[in-house]
Structure 1
Amino acid sequence: MHTDTRRSPIANERLLRLSDIVKPNGILPIARSTWLAGIKDGRYPKPIKLGPRIAVWRLGDIERLLGS
C-alpha cells in the first residue's frame, strides 16, 4: 500500500501563536523583539489578526520561511 507522505493543505493551515514561533519554546531561535522587527521590515510573514490582541501565523508560512 502506498502512503502519501505529503501534508494535507489543512495541516499547513494550522495556526501558530507567537509563543509557538520564538524562543524559549518556539521553533525559531530568535527573540520576540527580533521577530516583530522582522515583520515590520518585511523579512518575516505578517500575522493574521483574530482580534485586537490576538495574532497568529500559518504553519505553512513559517515552514516556507525555514526552507528559504
Structure 2
Amino acid sequence: MNSTLPENGLVRLPQIIGNPKADPPIPAVFPVSKSSWWAGVKSGKYPAAVKLGPRTTAWRVQDILKLIESAGE
C-alpha cells in the first residue's frame, strides 16, 4: 500500500503525478508529466476520471492502486 494515498475515496491529479512546486511539495506516486497523464487517460492506458464539477476532476484510489500494481509487473 502506498502511504501517500488514502485507503479509499478519490484523489486529484497532483496527488497522483506529484507537484514539486507546492508548499509542501507533493510526491508523485505515478511519476509522469501532466500532458502524458491526460494522453494516457484519453487512450485508455490510465484510468478514466470522475468529474466532480465543471473544473474538478478526480480518480478512484482503487483504480490508481491497480495502475501502480500493474506498472510494477
TM-score using structure 2 length: 0.72
Q: Alignment partner for residue 20 of structure 1, among 10, 15, 24?
A: 15
Describe the superposition over 1:11-39 as per-residue Cα deviations: whole angstroms up to 9, x where unpaired.
33x21001101133331111111100000
Q: Percent identity?
A: 44
Gaps of 5+ in 1: 1-10
Describe the superposition over 1:20-60 as per-residue Cα deviations: whole angstroms up to 9, x where unpaired.
01133331111111100000010000100000100000111
Question: Contact 1:45 / 1:61 at 8 angstroms: preserved in 2?
Answer: yes
Q: C-alpha separation between the residues in 2 aligned to 1:22 and 1:29?
A: 5
TM-score using structure 1 length: 0.76
Higher helix residue share: 1
Question: Contact 1:50 / 1:56 at 8 angstroms: preserved in 2?
Answer: yes
- After TM superposition, where is structure 1 displaced by more than 6 Å over at least 4 residues in a row? none
Q: Alignment partner for residue 51 of structure 2, among 33, 46, 49?
A: 49
Larger Rg belongs to: 1
